[in-house]
Amino acid sequence: MSDLEKIKSCLAGGNGPELLQEAFTHRSYAVEHGLAYDNQRLEFLGDAVIETILSEHLFKLCPESPEGLLTQMRSALVCESALARLARRFDLGSQLRIGNGEAEIGGSRRESTLADLFEAVIGALFLGAGFDVCRSLLLEVFSEEFPRPRELLLELNPKGKLQELSQHCWNRTPSYRVFQQTGPQHAPEYIVEVVLKNWTAYGSGKNRKTAEFEAARTLYDHLERSGIKTS
């Protein structure tokens, strides 16, 4: 049985099928078809469920890690790239109901869309099958895909990398602000500025979190090339 079939099996009874249909309904599809629902509410719920389960997981997995490092590792595990990777593992994009305009520009393959979709499916699973089922599934897939969270921090969370460097070298943290926001309400584009001492860098993305990550990655890479000790 595939990972996706496992989820469908868990949601086969009660209101599970309706929850799963809601989870697979992108806002653009709901607007085009005049639906009164989309997957954004389930996304909100799934985000909280994932963070709760991973907080407990990391607390037990890393008993010597301080609160700050646990927070950074959790952020790496729930960042857009990590959740999109899990969505691809479950082949969730193939089930997504998406508007024609979004489909034409490859919206079902976009990292932010896939990450949001994974959160929505977990929200549906939580409501339809319960917390224990969610916990079992998430711990299985996170342990298989990301067995060493601290190493993942360096790979997937450039904000964490930049903050560690900044605190180590200068005992301060970088600051972020939205420099510009463009595009329609349903598909905004963010440009974020990060400032650290005398350095400034910019990043863009479909949401603020992604833009902040890209800004941090750009500045970290610049500092590394400039000879600042980054390891």
Q: Active-site residue numbers?
A: 47, 119
Cβ neighbours of residue 102 under 8 Å, at least 6 residues apart? Answer: 26, 28, 29, 108, 113, 187
35, 29 contact by CB (below 8 A): yes
| Look-up of token digits 């997937």 | 156
- Coil, strand, or helix at residue 195? strand
Cα(58)–Cα(66) distance, integer angstroms: 11
Contact 144, 200 (CB under 8 A): no
